[in-house]
Amino acid sequence: MRVATWNINSVRTRIDRAVAFLERNDVDVLAMQETKCSDDKFPYSAFEAAGYDVAHVGYHQWNGVAIISRVGLENVRDGFDGQPGFNKEPDAPQDREARAVAATCGGVEVWSLYVPNGREIGDRHYDYKLEFLWRLAEQIDPSTPQVFCGDYNIAPTDKDVWDRAFFEGKTHVTEPERAAFEALLEAGLNQATHPEPYSYWDYKGMRFQKGEGMLIDFQLSGLEGAGFVDTHEREGKGTSDHAPVVVDYDLTRLQLDEVR
């Protein structure tokens, strides 16, 4: 089964690119983040015309996550148990944001996750990010085939950023963030591998053209998988600042277990 994860940075802006990407890469399941629209404005019909079912969680014009599948879409879950909320005002209700959706696709529980950015070290959003990751770890079930896809907003090692010194004193590379990411692996997940070093390049400063990127988009799974980053989707005009991470999973053993 071929699974992709992509922070598309506005699905309505890039709907044609998204459908073309699915067809060009023969993708079975796409986990999408930062759709930036509410459920009633999501372009369901474009994906359905291409043969895909859609589960989307979007409350307004910010955040938003989706799972797009041609191998079944069952047991859809909006968020997860214990998922924290956020409001910039500490005394206001901390409402849950559209940052997580899960569904069973082809016998695999697939998650699309948009982990909070963290903003700045010491900001309440940084604490929110860490709590989100800790609570996410509670959703891991080694007895169930799962794939946790998404924009994690963490570079787990120094080799995952173009210049570690540039990020000194900034989020995405701090020890607490990296420890929270490592806890997901220690709970039973593997990081899918690919030869390309980065998945994100800031729009500013010609970062893509200079090769100054970050690896912050991942597929973590109890399944073994390897793939590639489709850097073609970061070329030219009108692109997202992220490129899709595409991974192939061999479900032969899973299917044999079902027969037994």
> Does residue 160 have an active-site annotation?
no
Tokens of 27: 């993708």
Sheet holding 217-221, edge to edge: 74-78, 100-105, 108-114, 146-151, 217-221, 190-191
Is 242 marked as binding a ligand? yes
> Does residue 151 have an active-site annotation?
yes
148: nearest Cα among 194, 99, 196? 99
> Does residue 250 have an active-site annotation?
no
Is 151 marked as binding a ligand? yes
Annotated catalytic residue within 151, 160, 217, 230 = 151
21: nearest Cα among 40, 38, 39, 2? 2
Is 34 marked as binding a ligand? yes
Annotated catalytic residue within 56, 172, 194, 242 = 242
Annotated catalytic residue within 28, 52, 53, 114 = 114
Which residues does the annotation place in the binding site? 7, 34, 151, 153, 241-242
Q: Which residues are annotated as a binding site for Mg(2+)?
A: 7, 34, 151, 153, 241-242
Which active-site residues does the annotation give? 114, 151, 242
